[in-house]
A and B are shown apart, each in its own frame.
Chain A
Amino acid sequence: MNQKSTIIADHREKQVLVNDKQKNQAIACDTHSVSGVVSQRACVYCGARVVLNPITDAAHIVHGPIGCASYTWDIRGSLSSDSELFRTSFSTDLREHDIIFGGEKKLIAAIDEIVIREKPKAVFIYSTCVVGVIGDDVKAIAKKAEIKHGIRVIPVHSSGFSGSKKDGYKAACHAILDLMGPEKVEVKTPHSLNFLGDFNLAAEAWIIRDYLETIGLELKTVITGDATIDSLRAAKSASINVVQCAGSMTYLAKQMKMNYDIPFENIRFFGIKDTIRSLRKIVFSIGTEEHVKRFETLVAQKEAYYQPMVEAYKRKLIGKKVALYVGGGFKAISLIEQFADLGIQTVLVGTQTGSKEEYEQFRKLTGEGTVILDDTNPTELEHFIKETGAHILVGGVKERPLAYKLGVSFIDHNHERKHPLCGFEGALNFAMEVDATVNSPVWDIVKTFKPNNETKSESKTKSKTKQAKKEKPFDVIDLTIEGGIL
């Protein structure tokens, strides 16, 4: 990589690698971002907020100056089957006076006002940066408020500076455990489960709930998509936990195993293969023969209906290349497979908060020459998107305009997704979305208008990419054999 030195800052060398199966490679991850870099990462508060916010009938109070509440007001995109309370923004809007004299009085008033007005089932209080510094005793206030109002008031320790987004996930898990309480349920409900790490974006959790109910299994709660306080409390009586978003929920699953004796399994409902494998895993773990039968019927029906339609899209997509830059590793792993099913090869994969194990998986799942990045920035993304010749970027809010400026199509697999992308239905939606963006005529318009006769320089860049291609051929690997996760 001849240009590597100018594009990648010295301190980031270890967070970038080009997949070489002959070598024993490891990426540096789980590090703090260095001061002064343009990182795509967020903070502890952000992590806690995204995990807890979908709990529908709770009031979520952001304790701090207004910004943290403003930027997270109804951006989660998770749907509710009942209360819409979680989509309302509540905060204490701390002012100068409160910073000097403390924000406790305001917080107490805010809890009172919210409980009287909205009668929520519970209240979550998110501590932001300054609260961690001015020393408000949020815990004591929450305790008093519980006694006064007779509902759970749960502090979330999410001061932004106290770690990374991942620590925020953990803080959220602690809040959920706090809600569930220490007591164990000895007799578990047979054939029941909790679905951890789905946030019901665009109704995704409902699709999975529908499958499980068709099979005859009982889904106690989703954590936290469309979850209610009561459903979360009932979660302790489930026979098993299944974990999708491993980055945010593995901790909770482990704790629940330890505290309540509930074993857990990793599953993923993105893509038809993953969906079938995951359902099978669940059915074989908690179902009876009858359940297995129903599972087989369901899968046969769905597959017969959706697979040909997905295949039809494959013909329009085969040979395209994709760059992935997402929050956590589990999603990237799913996406690599899902794209491969559509004939699309992953040439770049990166995450904000992926773990060592996940990066190792990327190396296994992707071909030789695939660029692997941890906690990257726009400059690196631009460089590698161009170098790998990716046609599609998958990312979040901040990456979208970057892709567009480069004339590269884009898929939001984050809060802003508008169609469910999980299960059989989601696999089709996904194919449709990929087709809609990558095959849009707009990309030709971006590239064709050259009024000042730039053909010369264009041919130069072309030859460069050709060379780059020669140097690092990408192999297509058969994921059905190598990528088996289950």
Chain B
Amino acid sequence: MLDETKGLYKKRTGLKINPAKTCQPIGAMYAALGIHKCLPHSHGSQGCCSYHRMHLTRHYRDPIVASTSSFTEGACVFGGKSNLKKGLENVFHIYNPDVVAVNTTCLSETIGDDVGEIIKSTDVPEGKTVIFANTPSYAGSHVTGFSNMCKAMVTHVSEKKEGKKAKGINILPGYVEPSDMMEIKRMATLLNVPFTMFPDTSNVVATPNTGNYNMYPEGGTTIKEIRRAGNAIATVALGSFSSEAAAYELEKKCDVVPYIMKEPIGIKATDAFIMKLLELNGGNMDASLEFERGQLVDVMVDVHNHYHGKKVALFGDPDILIAMTEFVIDLGMIPTLVLTGTPGKVFVAEIQAMFDQAGLTESQVMIEEDLFTFHQLIKASPVDLIIGNTYGKYIARAEQVPLVRMGWPILDRVGHSYFPVVGYKGALRIIEKITTALLDHYDQTCEEEDFELVM
């Protein structure tokens, strides 16, 4: 389908072709689902909410429920105040959530609705919570929306209780899969760290089948826990793009010390995460985690020759890419191109520093770019492997290059909700995926005489 991708890369001024990002509200909606008994509410046209639910449903294959302000012509002229007030009233009356997390849209931002004021003037039922985040679709990307909603949780909920001794550690998992959140919790638990993690979608969008539909699954961080986050000793924020804003907000509001780290994807980043938890909480490395690490290293030794020196192009969201670029370099691969649709100059600096350190003078990093550019650059400088979300499949097919699906969204395969990419277990899975992709490709395309049983 993309066989026709033509021409050399030239910066375009008006046109985006095949985006490598989407808009803020969907990230905010995903983050909000990580609060226990929370109903996300989209303050805008009906279509926004419908599209976000549809997209999330395709990725998670679980029912995704959210309400909308259902804007009409009238709302655009007179503002969306009455829509939101009536909307909140209906939401609590009909669906009875504990929390409503309101996100704005390009429409409500452009007409200038002051969502904070509107909520303030609304009677929220006793014991219920309403939080909101400004998530204009024309700024940042879905990652920014996730980050803004995480920050909003702190702004509207977290509190520091004066006179109470600080304890425990906050973990902000970042924009990762429910499986990853579960794995992060497992690691922290094994290390005996008392922690609060938010948001936590692990038992919300990856629920077991019981033959019953539960509009509010058991998972999600409770409001009480998010409130208590203000009394923690420190915050470990994973992924600067998705978690840093909330961590700094906790510092500003409640004096909780922030530590911004990479997503624990790959061996080094996982080591760093574990060391940080031990440093903050004391205690020793858990024997079973050490065992897992040993197995990981063993596999890295076993198969290193299969991927060493292979060229890989990566696209997706900044936090995942930063950790993944480090990991593929550790595997001896050559990341020739790292591209995100999300804006953020720090991303360029961070990736470039990795290239420099690894002596990769030919490699390129790009922000605010699209997949058409990605394809053009791959055509100009071919690679052995693509790592990215489902949208990479067009390019992979056109160029006959294997694709390892990673990141968000994945619309055509299962597994991401259940098998993590974070931690040592996750690193093992990534190696399995990369090796399998490369070897399967080789098996399918090599000459008859090169086809071998043992590899």
Chain A residues proximal to chain B, CB less than 8 Å: 9, 11, 32-46, 61, 64-73, 84, 87-96, 98-99, 105-114, 117, 128-130, 132-134, 160-165, 378-379, 382, 396-398, 400-402, 404-407, 446-447
Contacts and interface: CB of A to CB of B under 8 A. Distances in A.
Nearest to A442: B209
Contacts of A36: 41, 67-70, 86-91, 94
Contact of A106 (B14, B22, B86, B209): B14
A66 to B, nearest CB: 5
B213 interface: yes
B48 A43 contact: yes
B223 interface: no
Interface residues of B, number: 83
Interface stretch (B105-113, B175-183, B293-301): B105-113
Given A107-B14, A112-B14, A71 B95 contact: no
Contacts of B69: 35-36
Given A66-B16, A401-B61, A133 B66 contact: no
B110 to A, nearest CB: 5
B107 A90 contact: no
A57 B344 CA distance: 36
B70 A38 contact: no
Question: Among B22, B26, B110, B138, which residue has the most Cβ atoms of chain A within 10 A?
Answer: B138
A137 to B, nearest CB: 16
Nearest to A158: B47
B83 interface: yes
B104 to A, nearest CB: 12
B47 A92 contact: no
Q: What are the 7 A-B residue pairs with the smallest beta carbon separation, nearest first?
A: A43-B47, A109-B14, A67-B23, A36-B90, A36-B87, A110-B14, A160-B45
Nearest to B208: A405
B58 interface: yes
Contacts of A92: 14-16
Interface string B193-224: 00000000000000101111111000000000
Question: Among B93, B106, B141, which residue has the most Cβ atoms of chain A within 10 A?
Answer: B106
A42 B55 CA distance: 13
A134 B54 contact: no
B138 A160 contact: no
A161 B87 contact: no
Contacts of A134: 110
B46 interface: yes
Question: Among A43, A378, A406, which residue has the most Cβ atoms of chain B within 10 A?
Answer: A43
A130 B18 contact: no
Contacts of B141: 66
B361 interface: no
Nearest to B2: A88
Contact of B107 (A11, A133, A446): A133
A69 B19 contact: yes
A387 to B, nearest CB: 13
A174 B68 CA distance: 28
Contacts of A66: 16, 19, 21-23, 137, 141, 341
B46 A93 contact: no
A129 B139 contact: no
A224 to B, nearest CB: 19
Contacts of A39: 46, 49-50, 68, 70
Contacts, number: 246
Interface in B59-98: 60-73, 75-76, 82-84, 86-91, 93-95
Contacts of A45: 47
B455 interface: no
A96 B139 contact: yes
A50 B126 CA distance: 43
B25 interface: yes
Contacts of A84: 1, 4
Contacts of A402: 63, 213
Interface in B1-33: 1-2, 4, 6-7, 12-19, 21-23, 25-26
Contacts of B63: 378, 398, 401-402, 405
B228 interface: no
Contacts of B110: 99, 129-130, 133-134
Interface string B277-308: 00000000000000000000000000000000
Contacts of B155: none
Contacts of A401: 57, 60-64
Contact of B15 (A32, A67, A109): A109
Given A66-B22, A405-B213, 15 more contacts: A34-B70, A35-B83, A42-B51, A87-B1, A90-B17, A93-B19, A95-B138, A95-B139, A129-B107, A129-B110, A160-B48, A401-B60, A402-B63, A405-B212, A446-B209
Question: Among A39, A42, A128, A129, which residue has the most Cβ atoms of chain B within 10 A?
Answer: A129
Contacts of A11: 90
A11 B83 CA distance: 15
A63 B88 CA distance: 31
A163 B76 CA distance: 12
B388 interface: no
B136 interface: yes
B26 to A, nearest CB: 7
A330 B368 CA distance: 43
A87 B391 CA distance: 12
Nearest to A69: B19
A447 B46 contact: no
Interface string B432-444: 0000000000000
A87 B53 CA distance: 22
B44 interface: yes
B45 A404 contact: no
16 contacts: A9-B94, A33-B68, A34-B86, A36-B41, A39-B49, A66-B341, A89-B17, A91-B19, A93-B16, A96-B138, A99-B110, A106-B14, A129-B105, A129-B106, A134-B110, A401-B62
Contacts of A88: 2, 17-18, 372
A96 B71 CA distance: 21
B211 A133 contact: no
Contacts of B7: 117
Given A9-B94, A114-B15, A378 B215 contact: yes
